[in-house]
Amino acid sequence: MKYLFLIFFINFLPQYAGKSLSRDGNYPKTFEDIKKEIAGYSSIAKAIIDLAVHGKAQNRSYERLAVFADTIGPRLSGSKNLDAAIKYMFSALQEDRLENVHLEPVKVPHWERGEEFAVMLEPRNHSIAILGLGSSIATPPEGITAEVLVVTSFDELHRRAQEAKGKIVVYNQPFITYSETVQYRSRGAVEAAKVGAVASLIRSVASFSIHSPHTGWQNYQPGVPQIPTACISVEDAEMMSRMSLQGTKVVVYLKMGAKTYPDSSSFNTVAEIVGSKYPEQIVLVSGHLDSWDVGQGAMDDGGGAFISWEALSLVKDLGLRPKRTLRLVLWTGEEQGGIGAEQYYQLHKKNISNFDVVMESDEGTFRPMGLAFTGTDEARDIVKEIMTLLLPINITDIYDTADGTDIDYWMRDGVPASGKKVVCISEWEELPELSFRSGTEPQI
């Protein structure tokens, strides 16, 4: 979604710091000046759109991503593949003739899932598809065999706490939204352990399933026993729920060989186009290079990382020099909760006043709808004007809030933030593999 470059027009605008814009509809002349200046960039906008959509850059980000994903493969935090991916991107950004290409050291978690499988033993023999959750401990070497307790919520689990001791808790929570439902993945093991369960299996956090479990990170809590935890498919969660509601005893055998190692050395990868007038001021665009280990990470978040890279490439190819520095950051350790981004923030927050806008591309690579933005009303009015430059490709909507694991630290401190909004097939993250239905191919 090469429309990401729209925010770069902010780089070409002069500063309007300290000039207030009223919200009563009677804007001072300064805002009219801004509107006229933005309109004056229509020829530059057309040149970028023509290059990205019709010119030599057409499909370039997709082709770059295909080579990267096919060559490197999965890029789990702490793995040799992630190291290879970072080296690959460091060289690629240099070859693209971007400026100040460098690596910033960080420490990231190193967890490996090992061998894992589950089998229903009663009322019949049935293989259960599972994916262990990040940071999960292993089962004992002989595995765990236990009766299942199926619940649909944490509230139900606590009401039935006396039934949970010594059992495997299966969460068959309904999907509401990703942000609301994902708490079962992150907290499921902890809540089950509090009531004496020996393991937890969580229905994959997705709106629908093709018998495909999802993985993701989960968090233990100090003082709470650690139990093995994994995700299962929607179909298996529903089946065990139906059996339990009918009064049928369900017994499952679970074996997981997960291991956690000491934190590993890794890097955030950085490149820039240095600003001509305000080089100390930063417009940051980003995506994360790490992925889970059960796929190639093309969607989450190779696509987002390469979209952000492509934005700098487009500006460079047209010989444009922004007034503010355009900085690309390819994060590491996002899947473990934004580990690399947090360390980047801690290193650079002393200069937070120089960060004008932070952007993250990590919501998939489907058809774009517009831009999510968080900032002042005055800034939003400016962004709305900038979006009119994208009318030729019909991507002009503004959404009220932006979010993103890797930019959240800056947003908390009031730095304006934005991210793309897309039309999604379903929750795409952490799938072992992804097939596209006819007519819904990804657009990058």
Residues recognised as catalytic: 334
Beta bridge partners of residue 171, listed in sequence order: 151, 202
Query: What are the Cα distances from residue 105, in Å, to 35, 238, 338?
Result: 41, 44, 14
Per-residue exposure over 381-390, b if at least 16 CB sit within 10 Å of its own CB, e if not: bbbbbbbebb
Dihedral Cα 207, 212, 214, 215, nearest 10 deg: 170
| Best CA proximity match to 290, nearest among 420, 129, 440, 405 | 405
R_g of the chain computed on alpha carbons: 24
Assigned token pair, 301: 């978040």
Per-residue exposure over 334-369, b if at least 16 CB sit within 10 Å of its own CB, e if not: bbbbbbbbbbbbeebeeeeeebbbbbbbbbbbbebb
Q: Which residue has the tokens 């890279």?
A: 309
CA angle 285, 290, 296 (to 5 degrees): 115
DSSP per-residue string spanning 301-348? IIHHHHHHHHHHHHHHHTT---SEEEEEEEESSGGGTSHHHHHHHHHH
Q: How far apart are alpha carbons 124 and 336 in whole angstroms? A: 36
Dihedral Cα 88, 411, 345, 312, nearest 10 deg: 30
Contact between 11 and 38 under an 8 Å Cβ cutoff? The reply is: no
Q: How far apart are alpha carbons 430 and 432 in whole angstroms? A: 6
Q: How far apart are alpha carbons 90 and 80 in whole angstroms? A: 15
Q: Which residue has the tokens 């023999």?
A: 125
Q: Where are the beta strands (DSSP E) in 113-198?
A: 116-122, 126-128, 130-132, 144-151, 168-171
